[in-house]
Structure 1
Amino acid sequence: MDINGKISEELNVNKKQVNSTIKLLEEGNTVPFISRYRKEATGNLNEEQIRNIEEKFNYYTKLEDYKQTVIKNINEQGKLSDSLREKILKSEKLSDVEDLYLPYKKRKKTKADIAVENGLEPASIKVMLGEDIDDEYLKNFINDNFKSKDDIKEGIGNIIGQSFAHDKENRDYFRNLFFKFGRISTNKKKKFKEEFTKYDVYDNFSQLVKAIPDYRVLAINRGEKENILSVKVVLEEEKYKSKIKEFLKGKKLNDEIISMGLNYGLKNMLLPSLEREIRQTLTVRAEENSISLFSENLKQLLLTPPLKNKRILAMDPGFRTGCKVVALDEYGNLLENTTIFPVEPKNEVEKSMKIIDKIIDHHKLNLIVIGNATASRETQQFIVQYIKQYDKNLKYIFANESGASVYSASKLAKKEFPDKDVTVRGAVSLGRRVQDPLAELVKIDPKSIGVGQYQHDVDQKSLKEKLRNTVESVVNNVGVNANTASYALLEHVSGLNSNIAKKLVEYREKNGPFKERKDILNVKGIGAKSFEQAAGFLKIYGGINPLEITSIHPESYEIAEKLLNHIGFKKDDILNKNDEIRSNLISFLNDENRINEMSESLNTGIYTLKDIINDLLKPGRDPRDELPQPILFDDILNFEDLKEGMKLEGKVNNITDFGAFIDLGIKENGLIHKSNIAEKFVKHPSEYLSINQIVTVEIIEIDPQRKRISLKLIK
């Protein structure tokens, strides 16, 4: 198989682009580096396209290796024909190779295998050819293992049934029937029939295989795993009756044996095998889509705009153990911590107000962050009362506590705050999540962040790899301050890993901040290749070279300086936000002829030149700053205040296959079902909504008992 040609065809990408991308990957370049700094080689392919090429290449490479293994195994059995070899080599899917290999695969001995060993195969061929047979003919095959005419008929039928079940064309035919007419059928098991479970909707449930949504597949799988549901894939006999008739010969004895055999092959081999395959196919599809959704949600969450220059009072609420309070400067450094008891059971409201007022004034804090778990709404009421009573020009925001406990007990947290307990570390994490969400959230296993759907039910290896790629993509897209980033953030930079990231931080702590990117080469473990991959994503603020606050790679510094010189400026001028520089650079971008001339003059690619210009236009740019800012509050709204028809502003904080959950500034999230997102049919909520998006919604139904809020998207 021409693997690169096949990838080119499937992904609708020029083969030359595929060839170049594979070559770059094989040379040890990372996807972010290739995507950003090798655009001329790839023809400006984006990260997703490059990862798709990498994924397809790995799949087809493994497929070709497996084909050779299958051919070798069949050949060793002395059963490899030229036509079979050709079919295997031409196969483009693993399932096709598996179907062709099935009759020759080593397995536990079946009734059909025993019948073949006892010499019944010639009789099975005769029966299937429609040649005349009778009782006298069958008696010729009687032996110690097949002692009667009925035994012989059964043995011949078993051979026919197994041959039928293992035939690739038959498997394809029934596979298509399953996907067209098959139904997933589920029931609660007897011992749960009278009990209330979260799977009650799946009792006496049935849906077409082709119509069942992914989230339902995963829910059913979980119910089965918890031993509450029994699950079957059902194909009505009526759908394949005509196929069975094709094998009948119109002769009584032949047809009796054939019918018996096909029934055996269907019930014992083909249908159970395909049922497992259909379940697996549905599961893989559902898991892939769930992982992709989780990945997209995570990406959007990590891109949450940081609230810069905020000095924060972060609060981790609690009842009996009190509310942990920490003060953080604008860089996330811990200034002070204490514990207050403003809610039940102590209700020390006035005392708590005096304590936080003193902390806020002393450290000049300008934002309050409240964790959204236990006692959060009671703490919110306390804060709103404090703001009004003390006449403070302050606002507050909720921080999602998902994963905070994971961080607070981690080695990194212990190293950052060795003399503080887990509750203080957790409160610090909440505050930092608002100041710089990306820098803080990368310290936590993505599965603990709370934006997934059935994340614990999917293939964990695939999930981990996909989420790792997502974090890597976001970190390198945003860029990292080489002098302030934690090793947890640095380890996601292209070309670095956990060990090198730790050594970089240790070197920085020992020798002081880096003055230039090239100083990073002094860190043990960073060689020329690692530096090449990482340098453009590591930014140096306040260093020797102003270009190093941009994403311009050191290999292109000379080009950037020549470009600036051409329009009458020096690299130091980019820090002055000079309008003349901007207008000159913008005129370049808007004039293809000038771009082409400059590209030739500087002997550099057009894609690279355009990237350099864009970086010079926005030195130190943070792409997150261009996204909607979080909502800040200074008052309070309760569930009891809500009414149907009310219009509110909220923030999307999770997206699933069936809808989006909206933070309305109260304890309970609202749900916009996908049927209430637009007037037309919505295939998936992500077509219209994204994590952190600020939306206006209308309340269409309130369920006071279950405290559920149904919403409709307005804009």
Structure 2
Amino acid sequence: MYQLTIPAQIAAELKVREAQVQTAIDLLDGGATVPFIARYRKEATGGLDDVQMRELEARLAYLRELHDRRAAVLKSIDEQGKLTPELRAAIEAAPTKQELEDLYLPYKQKRRTKGQIAREFGIEPLADQLFANPSLDPNEAAKPFVKAEKGEGGEDFTTVPAVLDGVRDILSERWAEDAQLVQGLREWLWAEGLLQSKLASGKNENDPEVAKFRDYFDYDEPIGRVPSHRALAVFRGRQLEILDAKLVLPEADTAPAATKTAATPSLAEGRIALHLGWSHAGRPADDLLRKCVAWTWRVKLSLSTERDLFARLREDAEAVAIKVFGDNLRDLLLAAPAGQKVVMGLDPGIRTGVKVAVVDATGKLVETATVFPHEPRKDWEGSLHTLGKLVAKHGVQLIAIGNGTASRETDKLAGDLIKLVQKMAAAQAGVSLPAIEKVVISEAGASVYSASEYASQELPDVDVSLRGAASIARRLQDPLAELVKIDPKSIGVGQYQHDVNQSELARQLDAVVEDCVNGVGVDLNTASAPLLARVSGLSGTVAKAVVRWREQHGAFDSRQQLLEVSGLGPKTFEQSAGFLRIRGGSNPLDVTGVHPETYPVVEQIIVSTGKPIDQIMGRAELLKPLKPEQFATPQFGAVTVKDILVELEKPGRDPRPDFKVARFNDGVEDIADLREGMVLEGTVSNVAQFGAFVDLGVHQDGLVHVSQLANRFVSDAREVVKTGQIVKVKVLEVDAPRKRISLTMKLDAQAPRRDAPRENRFEGAGRNQRSGQGGRRDSAPAADNQMAAAFAKLQGLRK
């Protein structure tokens, strides 16, 4: 059943055929990677793409864990002799780990409870009698159960009140372990409850660290509709003991507030009563049963339900945050490469100076320097002279400037340098040369790389402070090749990244990096070990072995030479070869994404066209008329042949966009320089569901709220913008004290009125303060009619 059930369930979720899923599972279990399956096994899986394969892989792991846990639960209950056919069926049908644990709760080994003690002293028959027949007088019915003396452990059932307390403990514990009741309450509160947060007692709201959470000092919102960023903000504030957060129950609309007391039954108690099929009818035992119901909610279930719903909210919020991080990372890794150009990297600094590194067209570091144009030396002219000599000596074509401290000042230095170089070139040659371009780029993670073990191996004789400048230069040439050397979590495009599950974050980010690297392809003869290690099938050890082979034998001439690398066998070759590129090798196909296993298919295409391979590649007029079906084989069908023809048409193509740069406005170097109505160009530095952060070159990113991205409804900012994209924005408002910049991409938009509520003027937060406004409900949700009527006699509670 297990092997059939899991593929069937995943197939239903992905809306594909079960056979597709089963084949994909078999390939994964056989050691194939997701990129390999998605790219080279389309025939087998029916065309499952990398997104579907990643989802399949994750669900497979979850469902297998669920299966193993289910087996353990069944075994445990069976060993207790309590496994009924009905319970087995319920456990086998449990779709989630949470529901499985709900069913297991009554049978889980736990410490001795008050309810267990009461059962041990024979009180359970009384509890059953009173619940079954509330007409019984509890005090009279309890007398036969009174014990003559206390138990050896001090257990006291020597009085009628003590015995009735035992009844309460038995019933409340039994009801609190009713899986159907617990799940019903949980889902009801997820739909109707409120997440509420307030400023913690004793906290000074003017404290800068406390003020970051001002939007949540008096906040509530339906818990099931709280956006990811607001949920994580509240949880962070609670963890820092700045906020108090709790789950607030819905209230009956007609319950007079003035009449409510601590003893007033809640709607949660009403739902418990409805589930039990009991209501207060004035019978002798009804007051006792009412106390049992109240005890069940207030003592047994209220805190655990809040904990469960907070865990669910956090899990959902983390999933969204991790996805946002992954999407942003993908956009950053797949940003346009400048290509093989000589680049000067500038790592800005004030007192420590601007670190300079020049890399040649292949990314090799050729020279470094440090200049001091800013405080305290202010050696502007000397800095220009040093940089000018480097430009002339190495033929610098691009200047990459890190976006850290003093980036705007350094950007101005680069601007003056470009003017100086043009002036000198014109004076010497009498003609104007094409302008050197300057680009301000994210330096996130550069310091992490500088101090890494790999950096010390790659640049052993270079000072740590200068390695960052080299990294900045090379990430402009090829963002993907350089950023893979850095832990994805250090790249700085996440939303509350330190508040989410770190192992799940790492797993998903690694998957994004792997998909990006294999989607673009890797030059086998220039790739670093960290880049090679991200190629399908290649481990870190094998990647280093590839680099060692290259150092000992020179450049690879063909993919087949990979089999000469120590530790790289046929299986690894199968998984990796299609993603590795060789330029100028003996086989022209090695520069394409055509897998070596399908080279025989290409030979048939060569025979059909009557032309050699080098006259076929890139010739769309020859390839487009060919029908994939005529070259299909039992092993490689028309789908695979179609991919081969596409590769031959555009051999070695790079799927990334063309390179271009943003132009910052002169005179806009600080948040104080911004004015409402200014139209600026900037680079999207980060994207969250609620909006996009844009680097304007003023040391503080501005926020384009999701409502300001386009003249239409946008539910997710990534529908409109991506990390690294160059956009034009208008300044709506600037709050310098709180370092908040409100922007719009609707260039005809008007600035907000000064008398508008702050939550309408600033929705969201600055780059370093990811928070947002909480929604308000006009009234709490009404209770369910049937439940309210059944529980009406508990205090006249009704809708």
- TM-score band (shorter)? over 0.9
2:622 is aligned to 584
The CA distance in 2 between the partners of 1:665 and 1:266, in whole Å, is: 55
1:607 is aligned to 639
The CA distance in 2 between the partners of 1:315 and 1:623, in whole Å, is: 28
The one of 719, 722, 733 aligned to 1:687: 719
The one of 676, 689, 709 aligned to 2:741: 709
The CA distance in 2 between the partners of 1:603 and 1:271, in whole Å, is: 60
| Map 1:194-205 → 2, pairs under 5 A | 194-196=205-207, 197=210, 198-205=212-219
1:620 is aligned to 652
2:765 is aligned to none
Equivalent pair of 1:395/1:634 in contact (CA under 8 Å): no
The CA distance in 2 between the partners of 1:665 and 1:131, in whole Å, is: 74
User: Unmatched 5+ residue regions in structure 2?
Assistant: 151-155, 251-264, 424-434, 748-799
Structure 2 letter corresponding to 1:703 = D
For residues 83-110 of structure 1, the C-alpha deviation after alignment (integer angstroms, 9 at most, x for no partner) is 1111111222222211111111112222
Q: Which moved more, 1:213-222 or 1:639-648?
A: 639-648
1:437 is aligned to 479
Equivalent pair of 1:182/1:233 in contact (CA under 8 Å): yes
| Map 1:256-267 → 2, pairs under 5 A | 256-267=287-298
The one of 74, 85, 108 aligned to 2:111: 108
| Map 1:179-578 → 2, pairs under 5 A | 179-196=190-207, 197=210, 198-236=212-250, 238-243=266-271, 244=273, 246-248=277-279, 250=281, 252-391=283-422, 393-574=435-616, 577=618
2:422 alignment partner, SS class: coil
- Cα shift at 1:707: 4.7
In the alignment, is residue 22 of structure 1 matched against residue 64 of structure 2? no
Structure 2 letter corresponding to 1:334 = L
- Cα shift at 1:642: 3.8
Structure 1 letter corresponding to 2:157 = F
Structure 2 letter corresponding to 1:332 = G
Equivalent pair of 2:665/2:680 in contact (CA under 8 Å): no
The CA distance in 2 between the partners of 1:239 and 1:262, in whole Å, is: 11
- Cα shift at 1:80: 1.5
Q: Once superposed, what is the RMSD of the aligned Cα atoms?
A: 1.9
Change (3 A) 1:194 1:701: closer
Tell me the number of residue pairs that the alignment of Structure 1 and Structure 2 aligns: 704
The CA distance in 1 between the partners of 2:563 and 2:497, in whole Å, is: 39
User: Unmatched 5+ residue regions in structure 1?
Assistant: 589-593
1:591 is aligned to none
Change (3 A) 1:701 1:634: closer
The CA distance in 2 between the partners of 1:254 and 1:388, in whole Å, is: 93
2:132 is aligned to 129
Change (3 A) 1:180 1:569: same
Change (3 A) 1:628 1:419: closer
The one of 658, 669, 683 aligned to 1:651: 683
- Cα shift at 1:474: 0.3
For residues 439-459 of structure 1, the C-alpha deviation after alignment (integer angstroms, 9 at most, x for no partner) is 100000111101000111100
The CA distance in 2 between the partners of 1:78 and 1:251, in whole Å, is: 40
Equivalent pair of 2:601/2:631 in contact (CA under 8 Å): no
The CA distance in 2 between the partners of 1:55 and 1:71, in whole Å, is: 24
- Cα shift at 1:669: 2.3
The CA distance in 1 between the partners of 2:91 and 2:489, in whole Å, is: 40
Q: Which moved more, 1:143-152 or 1:124-133?
A: 124-133
2:431 is aligned to none
Change (3 A) 1:249 1:315: closer
- Cα shift at 1:212: 1.3
The CA distance in 1 between the partners of 2:470 and 2:341, in whole Å, is: 14
1:596 is aligned to 629
Q: Identity, % of aligned pairs? A: 41
| Map 1:131-146 → 2, pairs under 5 A | 132-134=135-137, 135-143=139-147, 144=150, 145-146=156-157
- Cα shift at 1:698: 2.0
2:187 is aligned to 176
- Cα shift at 1:434: 0.1
Equivalent pair of 1:417/1:425 in contact (CA under 8 Å): yes
1:338 alignment partner, SS class: strand
2:754 is aligned to none
2:26 alignment partner, SS class: helix
The CA distance in 2 between the partners of 1:568 and 1:226, in whole Å, is: 73
The CA distance in 2 between the partners of 1:436 and 1:273, in whole Å, is: 51
For residues 664-693 of structure 1, the C-alpha deviation after alignment (integer angstroms, 9 at most, x for no partner) is 344332210112113343222112211122
For residues 401-449 of structure 1, the C-alpha deviation after alignment (integer angstroms, 9 at most, x for no partner) is 1110100001111111111111111110000010011010000011110
Equivalent pair of 2:664/2:682 in contact (CA under 8 Å): no
Equivalent pair of 2:34/2:54 in contact (CA under 8 Å): yes
Structure 2 letter corresponding to 1:598 = F
The one of 658, 683, 693 aligned to 1:661: 693
Q: Which moved more, 1:376-385 or 1:126-135?
A: 126-135
1:140 alignment partner, SS class: helix
Structure 2 letter corresponding to 1:30 = T
